[in-house]
Amino acid sequence: MKSNILIRGIEIIETMASIGPANIEKICDETKISKSAIYRILCILEDLKYVSRYRNIAEDIWRLDFKLLKIANDIISRMDLRNEVRDILLKLSNETNEIVQFGVLHNGKFLVLEAIRRPRGLINVANIGDEIDINISAAGIAILAYHDEEEQNLILENKKFQKFTNKTLTNADDIRKELKKIKKYGYSFDDQNFAIGHRCIGAPIFNFTKKVIAGVNISGHISTFSDERIDELAQIVKKYALEASKRMGFEID
């Protein structure tokens, strides 16, 4: 009995890692496990702090939580996605002479896995392990742009975004418009959304299944991150994001 619960628990965790936050019906559709069994197992996992839930209108939405994040981070620090692309991140930093951040989307936020700083840096950026709201993360919003509409709505409709400057996007509809623009051009541009004088350009990274798995951005002060450099910097970021994607097995059709 215990081994059966363990096997189903692992299957549920793997499914949630793949589809993101979801209700029991969605998990049932993906795993074909009965709803009652899923609920029992989720409650056990919740007690163990492997999953958590939040209320969305009239139903619970379940998501992977901090304990699994710590396990994942321990694995990442050893194997890992960051190490696989770190040489590419260094090349991006050297070519642009700007700060580079790399990470993944976790529970609707951008989780920083790597941050390469420049000696001359005039701005402060998040550290490794920090989580940043997607409305102030160029890499985070670039990742979200390539998720399906249902996943985007789960994040946008259940989050009250903080306003940091008069340019910060906090309205869900405005963020959706930005997501469409990112998919059209292949990169995101954060023009002082977090702090006056702070600009970022981000791009998504894909794996061999063409699924978005991570994102990268450069950050700099407006004194060096000038209007005249934006197009040039965007193409450089896209170039190295594509190189990282190819490292993950991605192929262009």
**Per-residue model confidence as pLDDT tens digits over 122-170:** 567 778 888 899 999 999 999 999 998 988 988 898 788 999 999 999 9
With b meaning 16 or more CB within 10 Å and e meaning fewer, what string describes 118-131? beeeebebbeeeeb
Residue-level pLDDT at 194: 92
Domain co-membership, 97 together with 46: no
Residue-level pLDDT at 160: 86
- Whether the pLDDT of residue 29 is over 90: the answer is yes
pTM above 0.85, yes or no: no
Domain co-membership, 48 together with 120: no
CATH number of the domain enclosing 213: 3.30.450.40
Q: What is the DSSP string of 16-55?
A: HHHH-SB-HHHHHHHH---HHHHHHHHHHHHHTTSEEEEE
Domain co-membership, 13 together with 127: no
- Helix residue ranges per DSSP H, the chain: 2-19, 24-31, 35-47, 66-79, 81-96, 138-144, 149-156, 172-185, 230-247
Domain co-membership, 151 together with 191: yes
In this prediction, residue 245 has a pLDDT band, given cuts at 50, 70 and 90, of: very high
Instruction: Confirm whether 209 is domain-assigned.
Output: yes
Residue-level pLDDT at 126: 77
pLDDT digits (tens, 9 = 90+) for 177-226: 999 999 999 999 999 999 999 999 999 999 888 889 999 999 999 988 88
Domain co-membership, 88 together with 13: no
Domain total of the chain: 2
Q: Domain range for residue 148?
A: 80-247
Residue with tokens 């976790």: 106
Instruction: Confirm whether 253 is domain-assigned.
Output: no
Residue-level pLDDT at 127: 80
